[in-house]
Structure 1
């Protein structure tokens, strides 16, 4: 049974769908931050403890906010980081630009305005220095922006088309950002904002992306609207072609994707509209074991992390539950 990999499962209080999750390590244990509500919630898996996280109104600093006294945050996408001993969260949504808060106090650290573009995806930029976040807006505007904590510093805009999914990683000390969108997969250097490379995915949208290493070389991984998993070599040895034919298995769109190295095997973990979570061997392109079938609706978020020294995948979706799967079996 695929459920043998299931370590923990817990549903958020009330009946809520989840559009995104982010995971941060706090005092040696994972903390899962969940969207899909007017306010955020967090889940501490080790204690199975849920906590509501009210946040100040993201538009509070905009003079127009006074005209909407009953307005609430509209949050669909979230990223987290630790800064100076506190957890900071960046979030936005289909009708809200990106803002940054202190998770524990709910204090607004960097607000947004009514003329800022809405958000479809956010990721934490990996690397040294103060936390930075990267955000895109799907069809709302072309381009990708990198934000710092301070509202005094303008965002850095990266040249891009319509980007739906984002991820960031540090490889050999180099901070890279990958985006998936209408025209394929694009990769940028987060330090200087320059495009590193781009890849084509057969005229279909890439909703979920990640960056990994395979046999010592960096690769981009993309999940598409038709349920295919592509792997591209960033070294350029294959041009803009994938290193092999895409892997298939999902019935419908791949909504979320993350990567890990488990033992000596590089894997990708995907979540799809078909309600399944799947593990893929990046070297061979094969699915590892049967699909993981604990969710009863579309899987919207996948994050790979560690818990008690084990590699695990944290997944969530429209059924309102967060599930943790053992990747070491």
Structure 2
């Protein structure tokens, strides 16, 4: 998130420095905590998340341009919502849970039908990336916070697309927005270190507080509409009485910018996370505010409690939404709780180098030959198989009509260049593996765990034809680094 620095450092300069630190400076330095489940399905960092009012569903917003709707009990993906043209930063349920909103770097807010998994409406007008969302308790209004220095209040019941939103003008990029229960008020947090409270219907500013030493990165409000927490790059989480404007406590302990904040509906617990990879859980009803903390693998971008505060979910740069089950004191529960993560690798292959790289693939792809298809087709016998040809799976036209054959070179190119280059138009989320050794380990894992199209589990060596090609072989890469297509070679194709 952007923050304000004195002197020659600008808001956006710090954002750039923070991004470098987040993506490269923290990963691998901290061992992960023992989460009760990992919701693994995004092809990049998970930028935002929210939990439905009944605590049964979760929405996650991905750097891979997608939104995923999860069933929290089964930890399974219900819908993958695709419509944005850039990274998705924030999501929000409408009160009845049947619809939701998403906001993106593409400057657009989309309203979704979660039952059908389809787009209903677009809200446009922002002139910068939209980074946070909130919905009023009655479901009538939505608020979107943007780096264009505004918050826009949208009337979700307006029949005309031409209806003008209420505009809340700020002096700096706005990072956070929330409604105050049934009070008809909106609270915002901006990169100029301020927290402001506004009338939602009129846009009238009613209160302004100098909240932090640097910019406000997140705000979360309890169900009473009075108590809230805010986070900042000043390494603090602050606890507020919004009615009086008083700062109740400054909660310290992070060793870096705090990017995520959450407060439970009953105002008893708070959580914070940021660039130090620590997820801290605070007792707000304790005199000493002593934190309970666990290590999160990588930067924490977003946090949310279930309505009963028995579950906390965190989202971060490791492409996961992690599920933490809590006792009444905010401590992590371990009694009788299953700790196998979604996307776990079958035990027979868990010790093969590359199994860790396959962990995210496993949520969408199985390795079996029993017609088990997940979000993607089974990878059993993937080597030597032409794209779009596995029976029983509904491929996108781009792959159904494709001529690429999967082998070491084409799979390496897929994760080196990205699916948007190698398989454009496919449903595969944008993801890349930049390190040569990591891609090599993944390929070796797939060769052993998925096998070859001839069904032997090992490559065959058919005779080469007059052109020097093996039937079904792709034969290297083009001058632009992408794999050559099967149309350039001779021989039969499956």
TM-score between the two structures when normalised by the length of structure 1: 0.71
Quote how far apart the aligned CAs of 1:5 are: 1.2
State the partner residue of 1:177.
Answer: 228
Out of 222, 231, 234, the residue aligned to residue 284 of structure 2 is 234
Q: Do the aligned residues in 1 keep the contact of 2:145 with 2:174 (CA within 8 Å)?
A: yes
Q: Do the aligned residues in 2 keep the contact of 1:276 with 1:291 (CA within 8 Å)?
A: no
Q: Distance in 2 between matches of 1:217 and 1:133?
A: 18
Out of 108, 119, 138, the residue aligned to residue 174 of structure 2 is 119
State the partner residue of 2:399.
Answer: none
Q: Distance in 2 between matches of 1:217 and 1:270?
A: 18
Quote how far apart the aligned CAs of 1:286 are: 4.8
Out of 30, 39, 43, the residue aligned to residue 98 of structure 2 is 30
**Cα 1:44/1:194, change in 2 over 3 Å:** same
Out of 72, 76, 87, the residue aligned to residue 17 of structure 1 is 87
User: Deviation digits for residues 81-107 of structure 1, max 9, x if unmatched?
Assistant: 155xx6212112122321212134452
Q: Tell me: higher relative CO, structure 1 or 2? Use CA pairs within 8 A at least 6 residues apart.
A: 1
Structure 1 residues 89-100: aligned runs within 5 Å: 89-100=142-153
**Cα 1:202/1:92, change in 2 over 3 Å:** closer
Alignment of 1:52 onto 2:140: no
Q: What is the aligned-residue RMSD (CA, Å)?
A: 3.0
Q: Do the aligned residues in 2 keep the contact of 1:211 with 1:221 (CA within 8 Å)?
A: yes
State the partner residue of 1:108.
Answer: 164
Quote how far apart the aligned CAs of 1:185 are: 0.6
**Cα 1:282/1:116, change in 2 over 3 Å:** same
The alignment partner of 1:19 has SS state of strand
Quote how far apart the aligned CAs of 1:261 are: 4.8
Q: Distance in 1 between matches of 2:325 and 2:196?
A: 32
Quote how far apart the aligned CAs of 1:203 are: 2.9
**Cα 1:54/1:14, change in 2 over 3 Å:** closer
The alignment partner of 2:297 has SS state of coil
State the partner residue of 1:285.
Answer: 332
Quote how far apart the aligned CAs of 1:14 are: 5.6
State the partner residue of 1:207.
Answer: 259
Q: Distance in 1 between matches of 2:80 and 2:187?
A: 29
Structure label with greater radius of gyration: 2
By percentage of residues, which structure has more strand? 1
State the partner residue of 2:303.
Answer: 257
Quote how far apart the aligned CAs of 1:293 are: 5.4
Q: Distance in 2 between matches of 1:220 and 1:290?
A: 26
Q: Do the aligned residues in 2 keep the contact of 1:95 with 1:118 (CA within 8 Å)?
A: yes
Q: Distance in 1 between matches of 2:114 and 2:130?
A: 22
Q: Distance in 2 between matches of 1:73 and 1:108?
A: 18
Q: Distance in 1 between matches of 2:235 and 2:322?
A: 25
Quote how far apart the aligned CAs of 1:41 are: 0.7
Out of 183, 186, 209, the residue aligned to residue 129 of structure 1 is 183
4+ aligned runs moved over 6 Å, structure 1: 294-297
Q: Do the aligned residues in 1 keep the contact of 2:231 with 2:237 (CA within 8 Å)?
A: yes
Q: Do the aligned residues in 2 keep the contact of 1:109 with 1:149 (CA within 8 Å)?
A: no
Q: Do the aligned residues in 1 keep the contact of 2:314 with 2:322 (CA within 8 Å)?
A: yes
**Cα 1:272/1:16, change in 2 over 3 Å:** same
Q: Distance in 1 between matches of 2:187 and 2:340?
A: 34
Q: Do the aligned residues in 2 keep the contact of 1:102 with 1:109 (CA within 8 Å)?
A: yes
Q: Do the aligned residues in 2 keep the contact of 1:33 with 1:43 (CA within 8 Å)?
A: yes
Q: Do the aligned residues in 1 keep the contact of 2:298 with 2:318 (CA within 8 Å)?
A: yes
Q: Distance in 2 between matches of 1:291 and 1:273?
A: 17
Unaligned stretches of 5+ in structure 1? Answer: 59-71, 298-318, 321-329
**Cα 1:122/1:293, change in 2 over 3 Å:** farther
State the partner residue of 2:130.
Answer: 75
Q: Distance in 2 between matches of 1:34 and 1:23?
A: 9
Q: Do the aligned residues in 1 keep the contact of 2:228 with 2:240 (CA within 8 Å)?
A: yes
How many residues were matched structurally?
266
State the partner residue of 2:413.
Answer: none
Q: Do the aligned residues in 1 keep the contact of 2:222 with 2:267 (CA within 8 Å)?
A: no
Q: Do the aligned residues in 1 keep the contact of 2:135 with 2:142 (CA within 8 Å)?
A: yes
State the partner residue of 1:225.
Answer: 275
The alignment partner of 2:298 has SS state of coil
Quote how far apart the aligned CAs of 1:42 are: 1.4
The alignment partner of 1:38 has SS state of coil
Quote how far apart the aligned CAs of 1:247 are: 0.9
Quote how far apart the aligned CAs of 1:296 are: 6.3
Q: Distance in 2 between matches of 1:129 and 1:121?
A: 18
Q: Distance in 2 between matches of 1:129 and 1:178?
A: 18
Q: Distance in 1 between matches of 2:222 and 2:297?
A: 28
Q: Distance in 1 between matches of 2:343 and 2:143?
A: 30
